[in-house]
């Protein structure tokens, strides 16, 4: 589920349908949202969805976080066709995370 900045750049370049949770160890709201994001990710895997869901630690991948304009965490971004198609800042509930995935279907 955790992805490196090199892997993420490659997947974006390939045009994959991605939903990425940008987080950090010290972020309380990130810790609250992580199990919800993981549940939605598991649901996508069970449905054999083409949507891939990953987490990226901004402290370990600061270069990409800056490049993608991450200024606050948690931030969820969705990518499709090599472009960013959605961005949400702040903790989201399971329903809100699901809505982001539905936009990519």
Catalytic residues: 27, 30
d(CA 34, CA 37): 5
Q: Burial letters for 54-80: b for 16+ Cβ neighbours within 10 Å, e otherwise?
A: bbbbbeebeebbeebebeebbbbbbbb
In whole angstroms, what is the distance from residue 17 CA to residue 75 CA?
17
- Contact criterion met (CB below 8 Å) for 44 and 102: no
Q: What letter does residue 2 receive in the DSSP assignment?
A: B
């Amino acid at each position: 589920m955790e992805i490196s900045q090199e892997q993420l750049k490659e997947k974006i370049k390939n045009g994959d349908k991605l939903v990425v949770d940008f987080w950090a160890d010290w972020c309380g709201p990130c810790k609250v949202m992580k199990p919800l994001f993981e549940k939605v990710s598991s649901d996508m895997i069970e449905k054999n969805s083409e949507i891939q869901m990953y987490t990226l630690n901004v402290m370990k991948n600061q270069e990409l976080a800056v490049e993608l304009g991450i200024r606050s965490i948690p931030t969820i971004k969705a990518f499709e066709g090599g472009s960013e198609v959605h961005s949400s800042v702040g903790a989201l509930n399971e329903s809100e995370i699901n809505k982001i995935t539905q936009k990519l279907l």
